[in-house]
Amino acid sequence: MGCLLSPESSDLDLYRETVLKTADAIIASIKDGKAYAGPEPRALNKIISSYEILPQHGSGFDSVLADLKKDVLPNFLRTFSTEYMAHLHSAALLESLAAELIISSFNQSMDSWDQSPVATEVEEAVTKFLASLYGLADGAFTSGGSQSNLTGILLARDWYCKSVLNHDVQKLGLPQSYSKLRLYTSSVSHFSMEKSCHLLGLGYNSVVKVPVTKNQKMDLDELERLIQKDKSQGNLPFCVVATIGTTDFGSIDEVEKIKEITDRYNIWLHADACYGSALVLSSKYKERMGNLGLCDSLSVDFHKMFLLPISCSCILLRDPSDFAPLEYHADYLNREEDEADGFTNLVDKSLQTTRRADALKVWVSFRTRGADGFETIINTLVENAAYTYEKLNDVSSCKAGFCFESGPRPQISSVVFRVKKQDGSFTPQEEDELNKKIRRHLLQDEGIVIGQTVYDERVFLKFTLLNPNVTHKNLDGILDTILKSASTYGQL
């Protein structure tokens, strides 16, 4: 039929032709260094809405590719641009794009060995290596950090209910006291904590947000006070989530000290290290993340600081037996006799059934770059953030009556700051509006995409530096553009 990859020479030729045409179209769409060169939202919506999604008669790939060239490829966000630094959303290493092509071409499903023979063995080898890298024991790949966190919290809930309350959630559902279960995480942690507790039947009210210190780390005195308060009220503290690299600030909670508290109260310790886990490959900065081998579960993302394509994440455990709540044997899929004969069915460690062979991206990129190659990348990202922070605090950077105010000193590669009037003549509200205008101007008029957040109840701008191609010259240029924008919008 000419529609599938097959051993037929004509199909193999068509596959090669399709891939090469697509690669050429992608290359042709990259005409400058801007992070975004497309229209504003309403105009872009109008362009895409003009296309019929499912015509009665297909127009063929060449016709669709022409439309892609005209209206889609030029309007993608370019994560590889040195002018993109808005989110924890990285460019992808070239070899990992080759791995993506392999993954999509063979389309394995990671639930049973007979759907993914070598891909299963690759994932098993990679997860065992990763577990040893962090001082843990076992793991499984997931669709992203939110699912990794959901898995860790689910396992924490079931462990606590079984070991402390003598109640098997897997068989019996939630215990009558489920509304008393409490999870503790910092006030600047990821929103997947609330979403996970909602999905697990515990609700947002089960999440206790612990205040943070000035440097945006969890206040451990407050953590223990809140645990004691809940216990005195008859509530059930079951999990503490440490954040190893918060989304906005890159701040790192103190795992060793948190572990002392969780051991004291018999609480599961999960670490959301989706951002900061990459520090493990930097001999220079590894100590900043703490000893993650103390955690009961750990979330790691590879589509952030490791620079792999979305999606690529994993959940790692200290005790492999804690995966037990995810086991369920189906006669058509993960038969018990298969496992006795050495067939590994990874569905027993996953919330998902059908799942991509994402571990191959790690296998390919780790072997291609090596430990020293990744260390160079990670050190560059951390040091770019440190350079930016010093630049922001250099009074000689001020121009045309405007200067910068920085947030906390960066621990990883995120830097938050705001533009303010040098003479202090703007109110905080006027400065908030100015910073909002600057970010929007950069996006729509300059092709520069940076972030925006709130720090100390004020609007701040944000650089999330995940591109090792960014130089100090690039950073100087963007900061200069920001101040020029301030001098324009600050007069309005």
pLDDT for position 487:
87
**CA torsion, ordered 13, 355, 146, 274, to nearest 10 deg:** -70
On whether the CB atoms of residues 258 and 220 are closer than 8 A, the answer is yes
pTM: predicted TM-score of the whole model, two decimal places:
0.94
Question: What three-state secondary structure class fits 237?
Answer: strand
pLDDT < 50: residue spans in the chain: 492
Query: Which residues are within 8 A (CB) of 146 and not within 5 positions of it... i.e. 6 or more apart?
Result: 190, 192, 195, 196
β-sheet with 236-243: strand ranges across: 138-142, 313-317, 297-301, 268-272, 236-243, 181-186, 207-210
On whether the CB atoms of residues 60 and 49 are closer than 8 A, the answer is no
On whether the CB atoms of residues 313 and 148 are closer than 8 A, the answer is yes
Question: What three-state secondary structure class fits 6?
Answer: coil
Measure the CA–CA gap between 181 and 381, rounded to whole angstroms. 39
| Backbone dihedral angles phi then psi of residue 203, each to the nearest 5 degrees | 85, 160
pLDDT for position 242:
98
pLDDT for position 300:
98
Measure the CA–CA gap between 18 and 12, rounded to whole angstroms. 10
On whether the CB atoms of residues 467 and 475 are closer than 8 A, the answer is no
Query: Which residues are within 8 A (CB) of 386 and not within 5 positions of it... i.e. 6 or more apart?
Result: 410
Amino acid identity, residue 449? V
Query: Which residues are within 8 A (CB) of 145 and not within 5 positions of it... i.e. 6 or more apart?
Result: 190, 192, 272, 274, 299, 301, 304, 313
Token pair 């080898």 is at which residue?
125
Within 10 angstroms of residue 79's Cβ, the number of other Cβ atoms is 19
Q: What is the DSSP letter of 419?
A: E
pLDDT for position 347:
85
Measure the CA–CA gap between 337 and 329, rounded to whole angstroms. 11
Token pair 């900043």 is at which residue?
288
Radius of gyration of the chain from its Cα atoms, rounded to whole angstroms: 25
pLDDT for position 335:
59
pLDDT for position 115:
87
Measure the CA–CA gap between 141 and 130, rounded to whole angstroms. 11
Model confidence pLDDT, tens digit, residues 153-205: 999 999 999 999 999 999 999 999 999 999 999 999 999 999 999 999 999 99
